[in-house]
Amino acid sequence: METKNYTEVLIDGKIYTMGGYEEEGYLQRVASYLNARIGELKQQNGFMRLPADLRTIQIYLNLADDYFKARKVAEDASRKLNEQERELYQIKHDLVTAQMKLEQLQRAAEQSSAVAAEQTEYLQDRQEQQTAARTENRQQKQSRNHSRRQGGQYNNNMQKKQYMPSADGKEPEKNNEGGR
């Protein structure tokens, strides 16, 4: 159990012994607050002309007014704090939701990139295959054309040999070797 603290305080020019479970410094601040409020009331016109019991009531009323005003400020601050905590919770919730969506979009983007890479690779392979096939077709065509030209030159040579006039100007006899 806590021990009770006692201290002497000066309130309205009189010394009192105050006791409480709070620290001595706190008790001194309470006494100082009372002295300040009493001093403010004494500065008001007519306060000192009031009977002592009315002055005491006036002090009580002013202290109660201070209390209720401070309580309202504390309640407003508490309400504002609760609203801010709710807003903060909503912001955190929105942030988590946004992070989850971002991660989902990143996964989708990664998947799309992977699919695009696969499709690009497939298209490149197809293009290489088509290029190789065209090159091969071109080479085969050139080879056939070359063979045809070679064969045609041979036939032409054979035909030239067959029908070439001789050096004496006489027409040669038909040669059956290699002609048609």
Residue 113 CA to residue 169 CA, distance in Å, equals 82
b/e per residue 126-146 (b: at least 16 CB within 10 A): eeeeeeeeeeeeeeeeeeeee
Which of the listed residues 77, 96, 119 is the one where a domain comes to its end? 77
Query: How much is the mean pLDDT over the chain?
Result: 87
Please say which residue of 28, 44, 77 terminates a domain: 77
Decide if 157 is inside a domain: no
Looking at the fold, whether 138 and 125 belong to one and the same domain comes out as yes
Q: Identify the domain containing residue 41 by its residue range.
A: 5-77
Is residue 175 scored above 80 in pLDDT? Answer: no
83 in the same domain as 61: no
- Does residue 25 sit in the same domain as residue 57? yes
Looking at the structure, tell me whether residues 66 and 83 fall in a common domain: no
The tens digit of pLDDT for each residue in 99-145 reads: 999 999 999 999 999 999 999 999 999 999 999 999 999 888 888 88
Instruction: Average the pLDDT over each of 30-39, 110-119, 167-176 and give the range with the smallest value.
Output: 167-176
Judgement on whether residues 73 and 84 belong to the same structural domain of the protein: no
In a domain, 142, yes or no: yes
- Give domain status of residue 110, yes or no: yes
Cα separation of 41 and 35, whole Å?
10
State whether 73 and 17 are in the same domain.
yes
pTM of the model: 0.52
116: Cβ contacts below 8 Å, ≥ 6 apart: none
Over residues 72-105, the pLDDT tens digits come to 999 999 999 999 999 999 999 999 999 999 999 9
pLDDT above 90 as % of the chain: 72
What lies within 8 Å, CB to CB, of 28 at 6+ separation is: 7, 9
Kind and range of the H or E run holding 67: helix 52-163
The answer to whether residues 79 and 73 touch, using CB atoms and an 8 Å cutoff, is: no
Residues 53 and 82 in one domain: no
* Whole-number pLDDT of residue 63: 96
How many domains does the structure of the chain reveal? 2
Res 180 pLDDT > 50: no
- Position 36 scores a pLDDT of 95
Residues 12-22 have pLDDT tens digits of 999 999 999 99
pLDDT value of position 141: 87
Compute CA distances 10 → 7, 13, 32, 33, 108, whole Å: 10, 6, 8, 11, 76
pLDDT digits (tens, 9 = 90+) for 37-57: 999 999 999 999 999 999 999
Residue 157: per-residue pLDDT: 52
Query: Is 102 a member of any domain?
Result: yes
For the residues 154-172, what does the mean pLDDT come to? 54
Shared-domain flag, residues 56 and 102: no
